[in-house]
Amino acid sequence: MAGHTRSGPSNLVLTILGVVVLASAVFAVFANKIHADQAPTSPLRTSGLPATISTSTANLMGLTKLPARAVDDFVLTDQRGRTMSLDSFKGRTVVLEFMDPHCTDICPIVSQEFVDAYHDLGKAAHNVVFLAVNVNKFHTSVAAMSSYSQAHLLSTIPTWHFFTGSVRSLAAVWHAYNIDVIAPGPNADIIHTSIVYFIDPTGHERYAAFPTDEHTASGKAFLPVDQIATWGHGIALVLQGLSH
């Protein structure tokens, strides 16, 4: 008949095309959402950290800003037999750790990080003091501190001091710095809190970091070489920032 058009098939095609387009759009929305959900997010960064420390290094170290409180002073004897106070180091930046002179676990790793930090500091190292306080009540002699320092090359750091004293004096320092110590026996590794304090030249705590290690199937402690180097560099950067 005149005026009759073949609209049926065309409308069907258009309807099918419309459904396909709509389905594609819906799929795109869900695909984008899935992609967004699975996309890697930027690592979170603790506020108040030195700008020179990358977020990845800060997170590896567990670097944390502390309230700027005055340190608790103590008087102990180092590996050379010199009796000194913590306050006597005011005017220089201090990094403070707690170590077991008979440790075969994390302490040697932290020792290497200290040595690396010393080398990374270069000429700025003369403004920095590296300290450790003994956590082993069974081995408190100056000779034990000296032997450990030499074995782990800490004695190559001119401003290194490994402090010891009477068990009563040591325990008072552990308490003041929130160091928990479990001593199973004279021939066992001492279980203790592992923390590094960064102290500014005015004698105020500014940052803390929390060393970690890994263990082989046989139980031997280790940390990948690149992580030890990163730790050492991170320690040096924090100390440099506090020295300025």
Task: Note whether residue 107 is domain-resident.
Answer: yes
Task: Note whether residue 49 is domain-resident.
Answer: no
**Above 60 in pLDDT, residue 28?**
no
**Above 80 in pLDDT, residue 1?**
no
Residues 184, 232 share a domain: yes
Task: Note whether residue 219 is domain-resident.
Answer: yes
Work out the average pLDDT over 108-118.
98
Task: Note whether residue 12 is domain-resident.
Answer: yes
- Residue 42: predicted pLDDT: 58
* Nearest partner of 164 among 178, 174, 152, judged by Cα: 174
Work out the average pLDDT over 130-146.
98
Strand runs (DSSP E) across the chain, as ranges? 64-65, 75-77, 83-85, 93-99, 128-134, 160-163, 181-182, 191-192, 196-199, 205-209, 214-215, 221-222
**Above 80 in pLDDT, residue 118?**
yes
Residues 199, 127 share a domain: yes
Find the domain containing 3 and state its range. 1-40
**CATH number, position 155:** 3.40.30.10
Residues 61, 5 share a domain: no
**164 vs 220: which has the higher pLDDT:** 164
Residues 138, 29 share a domain: no
Residues 28, 63 share a domain: no
Task: Note whether residue 46 is domain-resident.
Answer: no
Q: pLDDT exceeding 90 applies to what percent of the chain?
A: 75
Residues 112, 73 share a domain: yes
Alpha-carbon Rg of the chain, whole angstroms?
A: 29
Work out the average pLDDT over 207-227.
93
Task: Note whether residue 202 is domain-resident.
Answer: yes
Helix (H, G, I), strand (E, B) or coil at 130: strand
Helix (H, G, I), strand (E, B) or coil at 77: strand
Residues 238, 200 share a domain: yes
Average pLDDT value over all residues in the chain: 86
Residues 84, 10 share a domain: no
- Residue 41: predicted pLDDT: 56
Task: Note whether residue 48 is domain-resident.
Answer: no
Task: Note whether residue 50 is domain-resident.
Answer: no
Residues 87, 137 share a domain: yes
Residues 193, 126 share a domain: yes
Residues in CB range of 55: below 8 A, 6 or more apart: 42, 43, 44, 45
Work out the average pLDDT over 29-42.
45
Question: Which band of pLDDT confidence, cut at 50, 70 and 90, is reported for residue 226?
Answer: very high
Work out the average pLDDT over 57-75.
97
How far lies 181's CA from each of 122, 170, 178, in Å? 34, 11, 10
Residues 168, 66 share a domain: yes
**Above 50 in pLDDT, residue 7?**
no
**197 vs 30: which has the higher pLDDT:** 197
Burial of 26 (0-12, 13-18, 19+ CB in 10 A): exposed
* Nearest partner of 141 among 52, 220, 208, 78, judged by Cα: 78
Q: How do beta strands 214-215 and 221-222 pair?
A: antiparallel
Q: How many distinct structural domains can be found in the chain?
A: 2
Q: Tens digit of pLDDT for each residue in 67-87?
A: 999 999 999 999 999 999 999
Enter the tokens of residue 16.
Answer: 């099918």
- Residue 44: predicted pLDDT: 79
Residues 117, 202 share a domain: yes
